[in-house]
Amino acid sequence: MAMRRPLIMGNWKMHGSLADNAVLLAGIRDGTARLRGQPELAVCVPFVYLAQAQMALADSVISWGAQDVSVHEKGAYTGEISGAMLADFGCRWVLCGHSERRALHGEGSALVAAKAAGALAAGLTPVVCVGETLSDREAGETECVVGDQLDPVLALGADALSRLVIAYEPVWAIGTGRSATPEQAQEVHALIRASLARHGASATRILYGGSVKPDNAAALFAQDDIDGALIGGASLQADSFLGIAAAVS
């Protein structure tokens, strides 16, 4: 990971309140001084809390982002949020194609790639999520499924790929308490790295997500192609989020 700065990113999903967020963001801010390896830190919060995150983190080392973005720049798209709107709130990041968006909202891989392209055009860094279900893994289809999800993103070209992040999240390990072993995660990360390399983007960061906790983070980060973590539930407590970040060093 010497050439790729580790990135530790929290995904709050649909959690939070103004009061709870204030405590959480302050706790993360206060704890960053104790981190030795200085990984890059970020939180992706619900749209309605972006202003709060911006105010709380503006003069800190922690950046912030959103959990989704519209494929459209503007127009009659009630309920949608554009990349330009996210940039207005100082967002650096946006998640694209999280497994919950794919499963619950029917987002296909072509749409996910289009969202990533739109995010890049708005000056954001998309974090493109890929991963297989338990049935996919048991059928030996992991490489095929992840490859199909990646293909439209790879088609964006080397320049775009160099400006985004990939997050591998095995669906069977998200919120289940069941994490992929470091070896299982590394195997898929290596496949993704090889695909990126074939498209001239071997230095693109690849995060692992799926029940990452302080006690399994160090073993995951020791793998050659795991450049950090996209953290769900453990990002809702400052101590656990910072504990995972501390495992980088």
Active-site hit among 98, 132, 189, 199 = 98
- Find residue 67's DSSP bridge partners: none
Structure tokens at 230: 């996209």
SS3 238: helix
Answer whether 131's CB lies under 8 Å from 146's CB.
yes
Active-site hit among 40, 107, 132, 169 = 169
Structure tokens at 247: 């495992």
Gap between the Cα atoms of 156 and 5, Å rounded: 23
- For 67, phi then psi, to 5°, come to -100, -5
Handedness of CA 218, 223, 224, 226 (dihedral sign): negative
Q: What HEC string does 204-242 produce?
A: CCEEECCCCCHHHHHHHHCCCCCCEEEECHHHHCHHHHH
Instruction: Give how far the C-alpha of residue 122 lies from the chain's centroid of Cα atoms, to the nearest Å.
Output: 18
Q: What HEC string does 130-195 produce?
A: ECCCHHHHHCCCHHHHHHHHHHHHHCCCHHHHCCCEEEECCHHHCCCCCCCCHHHHHHHHHHHHHH
Is 98 catalytic? The answer is: yes
Q: What residues are labeled active site?
A: 98, 169
